[in-house]
Structure 1
Amino acid sequence: MSIPIITVVAGTSGAGKSTWVCQQLRDIAAVEKVIYFSPGTGTVPIDQTRISTEFPGIKVFGEGEEGEFLNHIPQADAVYIEWGFYLELGAIAQLAQLLDPLPYRTVAVVPPDLKNSEFHTWANKIIRGAPTHSDTAQSLWRAASNGQVIDEDSLEEFWYEITHGAYGIVTRAKGIFDVNDGRAIYCDFVAGVPQTDFLELDLPRHLEGRPQRFSGLEIVGENLDKAALKQTLSDCCLSDAAIVQYQQQVKEILLEETQA
């Protein structure tokens, strides 16, 4: 039995851990058996959902799936473990006990100006990522929105407010949302990095009632108005009647396109 190559990736918020992992997966996912594990995400598994969508052949594990993850390691060629900034770096020692006696390499993705940090002491390899704010005093806010559908115009306005200081100093924001035309949309923001357009995930359009798949939002920043964030997110969500109306309109448009 071959020994899988295990890579543990850590780093600061927004520096590019998930981006770096995805770059590695694009090179090997088509030819190797790969598994991905990201603990500590609770009910808001944004990175796991994005990776499982982009790389459908990869086995993806998250919160509460440690046992299943460990059972799959012997069948894998490569293993990637993403250690979120919200987890204590020292707690990786507990992970090492679970992996024992399998060897693993450590990679830290950090801002270019970060020097002599705990990541530099810990990692076998340092990757210079995005020039992000690395203040560990920042707070984290998450909200799952499974089953909700959001008007895309309202989402664009909400995202603009998030990224322009309406709810506090936001340094990192990412989310997956089901919008009114049935698509699943990935949103990503890192302060100081040029903003990218919303990304449509490669998932079937959901045009029958409320979607039974994950959606949610994660924000990192200072002085976050969490109550206002929660209320605005709720205000963006459509009623049952509005969902049915939008879905009927989209189905009619799609039918016309197929008949044209």
Structure 2
Amino acid sequence: MSQTWLISGSPGCGKTSWILKTMQGHQGKCGYLRLDGYPSKGLEQVSDSGIDKAFLKDQFPQLIDLSDSHHASRSQQGDLLTLIELPQFQAPQHAGLTDMDPRVKNQLETLQLHPDRHLHFGRDPELPNKDTLEFKKLESFSLSLNTSVWDPPSLNTFWFELVNGAYGDVYRAKGLMNLPDGRSIFFNWIVSQESSQFLPLQEISDPNGRPRSLSELVVQGKHLDCLRIQSTIDLCLLNDAVLEMHQMPLRDRQKEAIPST
């Protein structure tokens, strides 16, 4: 029997992690959709950068993408668990589906999705509330880094500076970062955590030019110095010549590892 759950909560509360754990514990097929949330007074939402979907797809390759109506029709398949992620600052007053935002309801109807449950972090006891924070003011910054490759030491320095206030009061930061050896690293931090999460994705690109995998950065906080963030990142990225210097030895080692016939 198919089920469709709407999972909402404030930035960094753990929506994506909980969704992944739930998928991994489900015996049947799983579908996923992330909706854009809506801003509130003084609170900016971040548009869907694709980070969450890319991370989930890497960790759960059989995941069905329900971001268009063609795939959404597959939600009618038997034993499919559909999990819809929604960034939402305020909890609905009542449990269940009665207080769903009409704008969200319209999005779902367009995609032919009809939730059976609506769970919100900080309201429903089934969900952990360790990282559920209330924000009174929140600015957002996002940056596409597709085809960009980081110098690893510079990336470590930048991330340390970012989460420790060098570019404003950062409450939430996450990103997918490409390294010259073909790895892509998921970076994740929220102010309620003691440290950042760094998770290499399973898929590794060939060390042959610039990667095609998604790479994005999302930052939320107050008094963000977006120009300094951008200019610092520009200094941390490898140009073509330096990237080739990193990748040539990797390709040579790959050739040496291939047995001769």
Q: Please indicate the TM-score interval, normalised by the length of the shorter structure.
A: 0.7 to 0.9
Pairing 1:74-153 to 2, within 5 Å after superposition: 74-75=76-77, 77-85=80-88, 90=101, 91-98=103-110, 102-110=114-122, 120=123, 127-153=127-153
* Residue-by-residue CA offset, 1:120-176 (whole Å, 9 max, x unaligned): 4xx6x5523233542142011111110111111111001001110001111111000
| TM-score w.r.t. length of structure 2 | 0.82
Q: Give the aligned partner of residue 5 of structure 1.
A: 3
Q: Distance in 2 between matches of 1:87 and 1:247?
A: 47
Q: Matches of 2:245 and 2:88 in 1, distance apart?
A: 41
Task: Name structure 2 gaps, 5 residues minimum.
Answer: 37-45, 92-99
Q: Which residue of 2 aligns with 1:210?
A: 210
How many angstroms apart in 2 are the aligned matches of 1:131 and 1:191? 9
CA RMSD of aligned residues (A): 2.5
Deviation at 1:255, TM superposition (A): 5.1
- Pick which of 214-223 and 127-136 moved more: 127-136
Q: Cα offset for 1:212? A: 1.1
SS at match of 2:127: strand
Q: Is this contact kept in 1: 2:170–2:221, CA < 8 A?
A: yes
Question: Aligned pair count?
Answer: 240
Percent identity of equivalent pairs: 24
2:17 corresponds to which residue?
Answer: 19
Matched with 1:53 is 58
- Structure 2 distance, partners of 1:101, 1:82, is 13
Structure 1, 205-214 or 7-16: larger mean CA deviation: 205-214
| Structure 2 counterpart SS, 1:244 | helix
For 2:5, what is the secondary structure of its paired residue?
strand
Q: Which residue of 1 aligns with 2:31?
A: 35
Cα shift at 1:182: 1.5
Point out the structure with the larger helix share: 1
The 8 Å contact of residues 108 and 126 in structure 1, kept in 2 or not, is answered as: no
Measured at CA, do residues 220 and 142 of structure 1 come closer, stay the same or move farther in structure 2, by a change above 3 Å? same
Q: Pick from 66, 69, 92 the counterpart of residue 68 of structure 2.
A: 66
Is 2:251 aligned against 1:251? yes
**Secondary structure at the counterpart of residue 128 of structure 1:** coil
Deviation at 1:193, TM superposition (A): 0.9
Structure 1 43/249 Cα, relative in aligned 2: closer, same or farther at 3 Å? farther
Matched ranges for 1:164-243 at <5 A: 164-243=164-243
Q: CA deviation at 1:224?
A: 0.6
User: Larger deviation: 14-23 or 195-204?
Assistant: 195-204
What amino acid maps onto 2:159 in structure 1? W
